[in-house]
Structure 1
């Protein structure tokens, strides 16, 4: 991939706030290059709709044509970056704020879908994977500074975590393991900007 991360503009976040596009980007990042037809089959779309969403992703720089594969009739697409970094702090205009909010709604929707899929198949997983999985929450009383330190520390642990002795090759018994880090003030407990204290 050309670079490890992309920080989208407001228009890019708005384009990525469509659930189908975010799923397509996720599939291209996790499973590698694909054609519109292949993605349409995976996502239960018609090929025309899949092609439209791929063009939107390409227009905003999320994906690129994979010129090493296919031919004039069979276009392959690949992710242009490994991850998306949504810089939500610098969103100052109403359009930027609305785009960021729409994007976060879509991310939360996809997280919820993945979590529900896990719950449905959990009892059929091998016991070792059941033991390794958790759906937990902790409610802590923290200042904003301590909360930020906690999320930064957890993110660093996750980013640095890998299989012991991992040299990039698959380790026997390894599998893709999803870690979602959701950290935020408990809704309804903090005075919002613009509200009377």
Structure 2
């Protein structure tokens, strides 16, 4: 089980709703399949999608400044993300010829079939995606440690960097992850994002087996 917020889900195969019937709201999370994973599995695309999810709509130039990339590179990869339904135009933000983009879903998860896909290209895309997410997590944690003193004692003493070692079956590991995800989701809408005493909080969850000696 893997969930990431580093873009929102559009079912590319879904038919349009019949006239007179309202379309069902899109899910908040996109489940990746082999085709959509190929469209996302690029380091810059993963970071572009994460930036739009975390920091809101932006232009290619703004994203280039955030990520240290040229606007030409960000424009190209945003169009590729749009072709696979990960981002879309946000025209209400634009002025003149500016083109603004937003993420179409709040997070991504893996479909079960991706983990055992027989296609080497798909397995390579899985590896690239997961390693890039792990790199982003490491960078985010390093940034927090380097800037922790700027946040004051209240934030510094309430942040967490813990690890635990348990002995579980694979089924129990899945149950632990599902319950943890449910608990985290229960906090999603507790406070308004513009409240003065809130800050965007990143929660990393890593749980995996290891060989003991």
TM-score normalised to structure 2 length: 0.78
Which ranges of 4 or more aligned residues in structure 1 deviate by more than 6 Å?
Answer: none
Residue 85 of structure 2 corresponds to: 61
Q: CA–CA distance in 1 between the matches of 2:146 and 2:65?
A: 22
Confirm whether residue 134 of structure 1 aligns to residue 157 of structure 2: no
Aligned equivalent of 2:99, options 71, 75, 79: 75
Residue aligned with 1:78, SS: strand
Unmatched 5+ stretches in structure 1: 190-197
Residue 5 of structure 1 corresponds to: 29
Aligned equivalent of 1:161, options 177, 181, 187: 187
> Offset at 1:14?
3.0
Residue 126 of structure 2 corresponds to: 100
Aligned equivalent of 2:108, options 79, 84, 88: 84
Confirm whether residue 51 of structure 1 aligns to residue 87 of structure 2: no
Q: CA–CA distance in 2 between the matches of 1:3 and 1:163?
A: 16
- Post-superposition Cα deviations, 1:34-88, rounded to whole Å, max 9, x if no partner, equal 111111111111111111111111111100112333267321111111111222x
Unmatched 5+ stretches in structure 2: 1-7, 9-25
Equivalence map 1:23-42=2 (5 Å): 23-42=47-66
May I ask how many residue pairs the two structures share in their alignment?
Answer: 186
Q: CA–CA distance in 2 between the matches of 1:38 and 1:63?
A: 15
Q: Are 2:57 and 2:100, in contact at CA under 8 Å, matched by a contact in 1?
A: yes
Q: CA–CA distance in 2 between the matches of 1:123 and 1:47?
A: 33
Aligned-CA RMSD value: 2.2
